[in-house]
Amino acid sequence: MSILVKPNTKVLVQGITGSFGAKHAQLSIDYGTQIVAGVTPGKGGQFFEHGGKKIPIFDTVADAVKQTGATASAVFVPPPFAADAILEGADAGLELVVAITEGIPVRDMVRVKRALQGNPKTRLIGPNCPGVVTPGDGKDSHGGCRIGIAPGYIHKKGHIGVVSRSGTLTYEAVWQLTSRGVGQSTCVGIGGDPVNGTSHLDVIKLFNDDPDTHGIIMIGEIGGSAEEEAAEWIKKKCKKPVAGFIAGATAPPGRRMGHAGAIVSGGKGTAEAKISAFKAAGIGVAVTPSEMADTLLKMM
Amino acid sequence: MNIHEYQAKQLLAKYGVAVPFEIPAKSLAEVRPAADKIAASGSSRVVVKSQIHAGGRGKGTFKTGFQGGVKVASSVDEAVSFAEKMLGNVLVTKQTGADGRKVQTLLLAAGEKIKKEFYLAVLLDRANSRPLVMASTEGGMDIEEVAEKHPEKIFKEHIDPAVGIMPFQARKISAALGLKGDLFNAGVKLITGVYNTWWECDAAMVELNPLAVVELADGKETVMALDAKISLDDNALYRHKDILEMRDLNEEAPLEIEASKFNLNYIKLDGSIACLVNGAGLAMATMDIIQHFGGNPANFLDVGGGASKEQVTAAFKIILSDPNVKGILVNIFGGIMDCNVIATGIVAAVKETHLNIPLVVRLEGNNVAAGKKTLAESGVAIITGDSMADAAQKVVKAVGK
């Protein structure tokens, strides 16, 4: 088992003909993910060919869903059109929309988030995220479901759930686990923007309910209070060991550290506050990012 | 992106927010005519305000020793004499750091007769992804201090983005500020305008501190924005060409501007160990681990998803132009990218920049063995680290020597 996606999840790619979307669609196909359709308005009827596969391209997500039965999508469309693409996915009845796009205006996401309240069937992950990976059984976790831009081969099928706002820091944690022979159930990058579809807490709840997830690594960073909210819930309800790391202890206040959401403003969102919330909730805190996996493994 | 007070008020005025009669001046030649116009408008006093992207101007000190970045003059001559002491000089406030900021623009404003001061701001509430209007009767104060000591004095109203601010919400806020009669209605108009400025301009934050009740020459009272601060969502600037023109490069660190030309996200810090990392989260974590092992990070630097030779070379040049830098830590998780390509780029960049300070490289990921071999056989002095912890300890040690 896993959360959000399984190896047989049918995935479509919005923006499959752009260079970024195409590259990662190819890598997902190589990984063994069921990429069943692409969507690029105006290119319906064409095919995306890779590795001996011919993936049909549609003008609309609704058509793609109707023809292929896709239930999840990866959004690679450029920022000005991303809000539209996300809501198109929701309108087509997708269960999961994973928005990889970086640089979507906050106002667009505020409207998207509000509109999605009328579409409770659809879960949005991201934007500005590495995506979701449920590792497969094969060599280097081949045969899993990879939606997004994470390197597939660093994963290994297993029982640890990973949730993080950051891309490369997630890979770091995953690689630490895999290098120690410990696999993952699902790895979820929720994105570094101030407004995102799915929070740390949402993912933690899914992991808590997933019988195949035995332990959780939660990686946070400065800005907002999502980590504190997750910690509060973990303290009361979580049945599984959780280890965490918070990035940005050395970040100067008032400066945005790469991610749009990574900013300490008005004394809020500090690493210190998040780390103490973690400690108060019994979450194992990795003192350095090198110890994320070991901190969890010691608790299990 | 941040903009100056005078620019913020220009935007606010477009959305119906009352502001004092005021004129920006970029040179001394522009000061006297501006002050004359303000005096002619019936104002007996002219306020001279330094325009820099930092707070605490009023209590700031110029490096020349002149006190105060905001001065109230009782005559045009006095306004000109204040302007002479401010324009072109460096103002140090509690927010600028010791280096201060050079004042290149002044704002000359009518001196309003202030009866009462409030605080009003619009920002995103990240906890529920909705716009939030915050108002307080404690105007002119440090709002963070008010929030901490008297949270009951801050009134909060969330706005549903599907419908925008409703008139009843503006009325609730106006009432919470204790405004009555004509002032109540003026407050409703102003609050609505401030919210609309935030929404329509894609602002990250609009803050009026103070928003004030002022007495006009005819004895009537009204509300207006005496000071205003607006910061904008960088990701939305592509659809606001007019606002983008307000960007003032004088207010930005030259190295950060240079870095942005190469798609590098660089923020200068005060330490001695520079870092070059791919990914924002990993870059923050790398700074943290340097500090954990007793060093001090000299910068945040995210090279993004890739790390091409051109980018690494540009990054090294930027890093090396910071005289405090005594060593460099490169931390790359090459998930998709070939580590050997990254290693080749690093070696080339070292040669091109004639790097002569310790360089520790930690590579992980795709084809990492070949990447490490390339580094080892390059003939340039590169220390390799196996893990983040190992690399951080090595660079701290190398710099400490």
- Taking CA–CA distances from B287, the nearest residue in chain A reads A250
CB contact under 8 Å between A250 and B239, yes or no, is: no
B window 58-77, beta carbon within 8 A of A:
none
- For residue B18, name the pLDDT band (cuts at 50, 70, 90): very high
Is there a common fold for B1-20+112-251 and B21-111?
Answer: no
Which of A139-153, A236-250, B250-264 is the least confident region? B250-264
CATH number of this structure's domain B21-111, picked from the four choices 3.30.1490.20, 3.30.390.50, 3.40.50.850, 3.30.1120.80: 3.30.1490.20
- Residue of B1, B125, B129 best to disrupt the A interface, most CBs of A under 10 A: B129
Give me the total of CB pairs closer than 8 Å, taking one residue from chain A and one from chain B. 172
| Tens of pLDDT, residues A69-123 | 999 999 999 999 999 999 999 999 999 999 999 999 999 999 999 999 988 899 9
- The distance of Cα A254 from the centroid of its chain, to the nearest Å, equals 26
- Amino acid identity at B223: V
**Cross-chain residue pair B285–A172, CB shorter than 8 Å:** yes
Between B142 and B43, the more confident residue is B43
Asked if the Cβ–Cβ distance from B129 to A109 is below 8 Å, we say yes
Kindly determine whether residue B147 and residue A266, on different chains, have CB atoms separated by under 8 Å. Answer: yes
* Band of residue B206 on the pLDDT scale cut at 50, 70, 90: very high
- Smallest CA–CA distance from B147 into chain A, residue: A266
The answer to whether the Cβ–Cβ distance between A195 and B289 falls below 8 Å is: no
Sequence-distant (≥ 6) Cβ neighbours of residue B97 within 8 angstroms: none
Cβ proximity of B71 and B31 under 8 Å? no
Find which of A76, A86, A107, A295 to mutate to test the B interface (most B CBs within 10 Å of its CB).
A107
Which B positions 382-401 lie with beta carbon below 8 A of chain A? 387-390, 392
CB of B238 within 8 Å of a chain A CB? The answer is: yes
pLDDT band at A194 (very low <50, low <70, confident <90, very high): very high
Are B292 and A288 an interchain contact pair (Cβ–Cβ within 8 Å)? yes
Q: Go through B140-179 and write b for each residue having 16 or more CB atoms within 10 A of its CB, e for each that does not.
A: bbebeebbeeeeebbbebebebeeebeeebbbbbbebbeb
Residue of B nearest to A110 (CA): B129
Tell me the whole-structure pTM to 2 decimals. 0.94
Nearest by CB to residue B284, choosing from A108, A221, A225, is A221
Can A259 be counted among the known catalytic residues?
A: yes
In order of start, what are the domains of chain A with their CATH numbers? 11-125 (3.40.50.720), 156-299 (3.40.50.261)
pLDDT in tens, B173-185: 999 999 999 999 9
Q: Is the pLDDT of residue A254 over 90?
A: no
Are A106 and B279 inside 8 Å of each other by CB? no
What is the ipTM metric for this complex?
0.93
Band (pLDDT 50/70/90 cuts) for residue B97 is confident
| Rounded mean pLDDT, A188-214 | 96
CATH of B254-400, one of 3.40.630.30, 2.120.10.30, 3.40.50.261, 3.20.20.70: 3.40.50.261
Question: Is B1's pLDDT higher than 90?
Answer: yes
State whether B280 and A166 contact (CB < 8 Å).
Answer: yes
Tokens of A123: 């879960």
| Mean pLDDT value of segment A9-19 | 97
- Tell me the chain A residues in contact with residue B201 when contact means C-beta distances shorter than 8 Å: none
Please check whether residue B265 touches A, CB under 8 A.
yes
Please determine, for residue A155, whether its predicted confidence score (pLDDT) is greater than 70. yes
- Helix intervals (H) in B87-234: 143-149, 167-176, 181-200
The pLDDT score that the predictor gives to residue B305 is 67
Q: What is the mean pLDDT of residues B23-50?
A: 95
Residues of A in contact with B362 (CB under 8 A): none
| pLDDT(A266) > 80 | no
Mean per-residue pLDDT over chain A, rounded: 95
**Selected catalytic residue, list B5, B22, B157, B207:** B207
A225-236 per-position pLDDT tens digit: 999 999 999 999
Grade residue A255 by pLDDT with cuts at 50, 70 and 90: confident
Residues A222-251, mean pLDDT to the nearest whole number: 96
- Establish if B207 touches chain A: CB-CB under 8 angstroms: no
Q: Is B163 on the interface with A (CB under 8 A)?
A: no
Examine the residue annotation and report whether B207 is marked as an active-site residue of this protein. yes
Mean pLDDT of A128-147: 96
> What's the rounded mean pLDDT across residues B67-95?
96
Nearest CB neighbour to B335, from listed A103, A150, A291: A150
- Say what the pLDDT of residue B217 is: 82
Q: What is the pLDDT of residue B181?
A: 95
CA distance A290 to chain B (A): 6
Sequence ranges of the domains in chain B: 1-20+112-251, 21-111, 254-400
Chain A residues with CB under 8 Å of B121 CB are none
Inter-chain touch B126–A80, beta carbons under 8 Å:
no
- Which residue from B minimizes the CA distance to A104? B235
pLDDT for residue B148: 81
Contact residues, chain B, for A261 at CB < 8 Å: 126
pLDDT at B401: 63
B231 touching chain A per CB within 8 A = no
Q: How confident is the model at residue A1 (pLDDT cuts 50, 70, 90)?
A: confident
Query: Mean per-residue pLDDT for A198-215?
Result: 97
Residue B199: partners with Cβ closer than 8 Å, 6 or more residues away: A107, B131, B164
From B348's Cα to the closest Cα of chain A, the distance in A is 24
User: Once rounded to an integer, what is the mean pLDDT over residues A140-147?
Assistant: 96
For the domain spanning B1-20+112-251, the CATH number is: 3.30.470.20
Q: Which residue among B161, B265, B335 sits closest to A110, beta carbon to beta carbon?
A: B161
Report pLDDT digits (tens) over B329-341: 999 988 778 888 8
Please give the Cα distance from A161 to A177 (Å, whole number).
Answer: 11
- State whether residue B219 is helix, strand or coil: coil
DSSP string, chain A: --SS--TT--EEEETTTSHHHHHHHHHHHHHT--EEEEE-TT-TT-EEEETTEEEEEESSHHHHHHHH---EEEE---HHHHHHHHHHHHHTT-SEEEE--S---HHHHHHHHHHHTT-TTPEEE-SSS-EEEE--SSGGGTTSEEEESS-GGG--EEEEEEEES-HHHHHHHHHHHHHTT--EEEEEE--SSSS-SS-HHHHHHHHHH-TT--EEEEEEESSSSHHHHHHHHHHHH--S-EEEEEE-TTPPTT---SSTT---BTTBS-HHHHHHHHHHTTPEEPSSGGGHHHHHHHH-
Which residue out of A166, A256, A290 would a mutagenesis test of the B interface target, given it has the greatest number of B Cβ atoms within 10 Å? A290
Predicted local distance difference test score (pLDDT) of residue B306: 65
Catalytic residue among B15, B112, B117, B119: B119
The pLDDT value recorded for residue A94 is 98
Q: Do A175 and B126 touch (CB under 8 A)?
A: no
Per-residue model confidence as pLDDT tens digits over B116-147: 999 999 999 999 999 999 999 988 777 878 88
Percentage of chain B modeled with pLDDT above 70: 99
Mutate to test the interface with A, among B198, B288, B388 (most CBs of A within 10 A): B288
Residue B309 has pLDDT above 80, yes or no: no
Q: Which of residues 118-147 of B touch A (CB under 8 A)?
A: 124, 126-127, 129-131, 143-144, 147
Query: Mean pLDDT, chain B, as a whole number?
Result: 93
Percentage of chain A beyond pLDDT 70 is: 100
